[in-house]
Amino acid sequence: MKKLLSLSLAAALAVSATACGNSGSGSSDGADAEAPAAGTEGTEAEGTQTEGAEDAGTGSAAADGSVFKIGAIGPTTGAASAYGTAVMNAAKIAVDEINAAGGINGYQVEFNPQDDEHDQEKSVNAYNTLKDWGMQLLLGTVTSAPCIAVEAEASADNMFLLTPSGSAIDCISGENAFRVCFADPDQGTASAQYIGENGLAEKVAVIYDSSDVYSSGIYETFVTEAANQPFEIVASEAFTADSKTDFSVQLQKAKDSGADLVFLPFYYNEAALVFTQAAGMNFAPKWFGVDGMDGILSGVEGFDSSLAEGVMLLTPFSADAEDELTKNFVAKYAELCNGETPNQFAADAYDGVYIMKAALEQAGCTPDMSASDICDALKTAMTEITVDGLTGSGMTWSADGEPSKSPKAVVIEGGVYVGM
């Protein structure tokens, strides 16, 4: 089992979360704005997007094996589609930029996104489809439970896997696997530290999904770290996948406990129900979530987003940051996605493609290498690169696949994310 790296907590700017339509494979009809690539040390990952770049991996290049084949898996339909769609769109932007700038080690990239509907069996089926296509590297999967299932297959195949957002510990249990995002335990620890160190509450209630590895993993380390912080956990209420539409019991217990803050380590769909039902009970504590909350402003049809006003959460990305990399990415994403603002999952994916580029260049890989040989080369290269991206500066990786970077805290104000 891999060991987890600790992480520190930093303040942040804002991110506005949405998703747009599914992206195609390796196309390049996105935004016109020039965007510098994620910077790296020990590599030459400095590509920029140019208008009119040709589709990646089409025609003779794909036929003669002279392109790198990157597959991606995530939910572009279903309840978690805001995550997967954002990932695929952002990865498309990164692939287009890289191809327009000359590719990786002089070779173009072909990108093949697959929908898994946040379902483990469908995710494994998508993985097998990509293997049949000739995939050499996998960006995915997007959500934790499917990622654990796919990682078991990828590990057995010695297929390089970089998940942008699969945060459960077992998402990267094999030596072949790395992640862009924070691990669940880190999010729980960092959330407790932020609440305690900033004096956000004296009494905290927790509502979590005990049937979900993502939610329960965060919950467990939150409770552990809370013992070191100047607040008391006055209620811990669980729900499961079979009972995630009615939160009246959990909310009533949280209200009766006198909690002035409720910690919600789960996804935005359930959070929307919690906020709606809490409003009906006249229960208005402070709310604090984690990265799965990103999507609450746009990912739930019919949800009154004003009910999320004041919600706080941790996220690695700020869409209104003033650095050129972020501004250009946000502009390109908006043009590709009808004015929408990228969420942190999009940022994780964009960085993920450039992380792959940096590692491939560090290792000197070429497309004629087998997927297994590429994987072996990248196991070492990933520990040698340093990447400046949307979700962190000076990002590095240890052999256990965990990144070293700092999270950021934001609050929803006026319908947008604002740095705390």
- Residue 49 has a pLDDT of 30
Q: Count of residues for the chain?
A: 420
Spell out the domains of the chain, with CATH numbers in brackets. 20-181+343-404 (3.40.50.2300), 185-315 (3.40.50.2300)
DSSP 247-314: -HHHHHHHHHTT-SEEEE-S-HHHHHHHHHHHHHTT---EEEE-GGGTTTTTSSTT--GGGGTT-EEE
What's the pLDDT band for 303 if we cut at 50, 70, 90? very high
pLDDT at 361 > cutoff 50 = yes
- Which of 289, 297, 264 minimizes the C-alpha distance to 15? 297
CA distance 164 to 38: 15
Q: What is the CA radius of gyration of the chain?
A: 20
pLDDT at 8 > cutoff 90 = no
Higher pLDDT, 119 or 408: 119
Chain segment 41-66, per-residue pLDDT in tens? 443 333 323 223 334 333 445 555 69
What's the pLDDT band for 322 if we cut at 50, 70, 90? confident
Sign of CA dihedral 333, 337, 340, 343: negative
Chain segment 72-110, per-residue pLDDT in tens? 999 999 989 989 999 999 999 999 999 999 999 999 999
- Residue 195 has a pLDDT of 96
Chain segment 242-301, per-residue pLDDT in tens? 999 999 999 999 999 999 999 999 989 999 999 999 999 999 999 999 988 888 887 788
CA distance 415 to 418: 9
Higher pLDDT, 213 or 70: 70
Contact residues for 156 (Cβ-Cβ < 8 A; gap 6+): none
Cβ proximity of 4 and 182 under 8 Å: no
Percentage of the chain lying above the pLDDT 90 cut: 69
Chain segment 21-31, per-residue pLDDT in tens? 433 333 322 22
The residue type at 105: N
Contact residues for 324 (Cβ-Cβ < 8 A; gap 6+): 35, 36
* DSSP H/E element including 235: strand 232-239
pTM for the complete prediction? 0.72
